[in-house]
Structures are given as structure tokens and as C-alpha cells.
Amino acid sequence: MATNSGDPYPLVQVEHYERYVGAEVVERILEKARPLQDLRVAHVNSTYYGGGVAEMLSPLTLLMNSVGMATEWRAIQGPPDFFNITKKMHNALQGADIHLTSMKATIYEEVVFENAVRNRLDHDRVVIHDPQPLPIVRHSRKRGPWIWRCHVDLSNPEPSLWAYLKPFVEQYDATVLSIPEYARELSIPQVFFMPAIDPFSIKNREMNESEIEERLQHHRIPTDLPLVVQVSRFDRWKDPEGVVAAWRLARQETPCTLVLLGNMASDDPEGQKVYEQVMRHKDERLIVLSREDTSLVNALQRRAAVVVQKSLREGFGLTVAEAMWKGTPVIGGNVGGIRHQLEDGHNGFLVDSVDQCAQRIVQVLRNPKLRHQLGHHAHETVRRRFLLTRYLEQYLDLFNAFEARYHLRPLPHLTT
């Protein structure tokens, strides 16, 4: 339900986005929401914090409530064994090897069944995110369409794992993937929503110079040299080792400081190991921080001379969009969703190797005019294509498109 002016903590409303997207877009969204008033919606994923899915679900579920849909957010629970298995599944969906024994499959399915018992999912629309809660559809009485939203890069999944998961996927009424390159051969409709950011969050709202300086000083981050920054979960697919290698090459030509800021999501047991590996490189010009401080993320992305996201696989680079929104040049891996965010040489750079990354770092650091041009175009790209209103509108179109027996009509085209 939408909030009113008397609420002590008023939530962000769609109308607040008008200064970014215009009155016509706001009115169009509100019109699409009218047939869905009081619709009961549930989103289910595997963690309330850490990683891009939680980052989006937090504001998205509130924005859905603000336009009249009674929207809930559930996170499944499980023992370490379960999350060790689902992390391996996550990696395998992005092309890594996996040995899924019958015992591991049993643990996976048993834990999901337990969560089905704990969570009554009798909503009008249910959106299940990623592989962790995927089989829950088998154990729930559907009162409306169920949607599987997969955020990972599905362009080359490990064949045996995909063969195991596909029957679960096909029990849904539709699946949402980030980009068309991730489409698979399925018996259910597939649609494509690229993720988006909330410009009003602590991580993305405006900061003045004194606020930025306070956060950096608090964490003892030196600012006497240009900052090269990567903000990511400690995950091998984010390639922090490759970022370190590129920075070491770049600093031979131009002095700079590297800051690697990350966290460890509760559903990612590999994060601590990756963090410990990266910590071995730490010195006075290579700062490694594991912090839950969204104001620090904001400050670093604003103060950085360049943000690097040299991912090896990336469903969609949410931190890429965050840095772009702040007018900061981004160098990204030429993979997955990042290729749909960065237009090489226009609003950032795409790279395929450590050497290329190092060359682009040097080029950006040495050319203030280039930094300004890339940053300006990056901000405009996010304003036009990657704000949460576009993401909300695509969900409204999807929810409105379901007919009797959950048949999905063609969705209207939205610019993404």
C-alpha cells in the first residue's frame, strides 16, 4: 500500500523519479499499476544482504508496495552444506565444472522442501530468484503465475547441472533472464529484464565533498594519488586477482592507489577464501576492505578516478551501473551484461585481458577531459536505461500479461 504524507518515514514513491524520467513515464507506470491494485506478490531469494539480487529486491519490493501491490520478500534458510552446494551450482551455471552427487541433490531438495513448509506462498504472483530456492515450486499450491528470475550468466551452463535443473524451471509459468544471450531451450516463455539501480538509496544518493572526505578518512584511504576502485563481492568471477595484476602494470606508468572494497554474502561460502587470497597483496597503495558500509561505497565510487569491474562472468554488473550513475568512468570485462551497459569508448571501456585493462587505466588517469566525457555519457546512460522505474514497469507488464490458466500474452517493448 502506498504511504501518505503523515507517515513518519515516508517511502520513495514513483513520483519521486519524475525529475529523472519525466512525468509521462511516471503516469504510464501508475496507469499500468491500476489493474494490479491489492495484488499479493512474493519475491523469494537466498539472502537479505550481500550481492546484487538483495540490492535490487530491497527497493523494488517497497516500490511495488507504493503502487498498490501487497508485496513481500522472503529469504530461504539452510545449513552451510546447502549453501556450499548452491554456490557450486551458481558457478556451474556460469560454466564451471560440478560433481553433483545424489547425496548433494538430496540435501538441496530437502532444504528447499523445508523452506516450502515454512513459507506459505499462496500469492497471486510469485517470483523465485536464482537456483537456491528453485525447486520450491514443486511443493506449493499455485494460486497464480510463478516466475523464475535468473540473474546469472546462462550462456554456457554446465550440461549435467542444466539437465538436472531444467525440469524444475519448466514447472514455472515464465522465466526472466537479464539479456537475450542467456536464453535456453525451454517449454515456457522467456523474457528479458536488465537489472537497475535505486538513485535514492544510501549507496547512490548525492554526497557533498565533505561527506565523501569524511568516509574516506574514517577508513584511512589515502587520497593523495588517483584512486582505482573495484567494489564487488569477494568472488572469483569478479577477478580481483586480475584487477591487482592490471593495477600493478598501470602504476609502473602513472602513480595511483588501488582500493578493493567487498563483502561476503551470507549465501556465498567461498567469499572468505577469496578475501584471504586478495589480502595477501595488501600494502600501503593496495587497500583491501571488507565492510558493510554503503556510504563508503558511494564515496569511493564518486571519488574514484576510474572504477574497474574486470569480471570473467557477469549476469549484470550492478556496481557498474552504480559507478556510471555517479559520473565515474568504468572499465569493465567484455562479458555478459556488462556489454549491454558499456559502449566501448563512449561511456566506458570494455577489456578482454589484464594488459588491456592496464592500458585503459593509464589512458583514463592521464586524460582528465576523457574522464569527464566518459563520466557524463555514463550518467546519462543510467538515467535513460538503468533506473528502477524501468525495472518496475517491466514487472508490471509481465504481471498484467498473464491471462487465465497463466498463459502469457506478448509483452510490450520497453527500451532497455
Residue 321: exposure state from Cβ atoms within 10 A (0-12, 13-18, ≥19): buried
Identify the band that residue 5 occupies on the pLDDT scale cut at 50, 70 and 90: low
The alpha-helical segments, DSSP class H, found in 192-281 are 209-218, 240-251, 271-279
What percentage of the chain exceeds 90 in pLDDT? 82
When pLDDT is cut at 50, 70 and 90, the band that residue 1 belongs to is very low
Given a cut of 80, whether residue 379 has pLDDT beyond it is yes
Distance between CA atoms of 324 and 386, rounded to whole angstroms? 10
Task: Summarize the confidence of residues 48-61 as an average pLDDT.
Answer: 90
Q: How far apart are CA 279 and CA 111, in angstroms?
A: 34
One of 3.30.1330.60, 3.40.50.2000, 3.40.50.720, 3.30.160.70 is the CATH number of 209-385, namely 3.40.50.2000
| 196 grid coordinates | 537497475
| Rounded-to-integer distance, Cα 256 and Cα 246, Å | 12
Predicted local distance difference test score (pLDDT) of residue 292:
83
Average pLDDT over residues 375-383: 98
Half-sphere exposure (Cβ direction) of 192: Cα atoms closer than 13 Å: 17
In terms of pTM, does the model score above 0.85?
yes
Residue 265 has pLDDT above 70, yes or no: no
Higher pLDDT, 5 or 292: 292
Q: Which of 39-48, 148-157, 277-286 is the least confident region?
A: 277-286
pLDDT digits (tens, 9 = 90+) for 130-162: 999 999 999 998 999 999 999 999 999 999 999
pLDDT tens per residue across span 82-91: 999 999 999 9
Q: What is the pLDDT of residue 264?
A: 67
- Domain boundaries, given as residue ranges, for the chain: 14-196+387-406, 209-385
pLDDT over 60 at 4, yes or no: no
- Per-residue confidence band for 289, with pLDDT thresholds at 50, 70 and 90: very high
Domains 14-196+387-406 and 209-385 share a fold: yes
Rounded mean pLDDT of 225-246? 93
Segment 236-263 shows an average pLDDT of 94
Q: Top-level CATH class of 14-196+387-406?
A: alpha beta
Determine the pLDDT at residue 175. 97
Classify residue 407 by its DSSP letter: P
In whole angstroms, what is the distance from residue 110 CA to residue 133 CA? 11
8 Å CB contact between 162 and 152? no
Given the C-alpha cell 509459468, which residue does it identify? 173
- pLDDT tens for residues 91-142? 999 999 999 999 999 999 999 999 999 999 999 999 999 999 999 999 998 9
pLDDT band at 385 (very low <50, low <70, confident <90, very high): very high
Alpha-carbon gap, residue 203 to 326, rounded angstroms = 10
Residue 275 has a pLDDT of: 85
The pLDDT value given to residue 171 = 97
Do residues 293 and 202 make contact, with C-beta atoms less than 8 angstroms apart?
A: no
Whether the predicted pLDDT of 414 surpasses 70: no
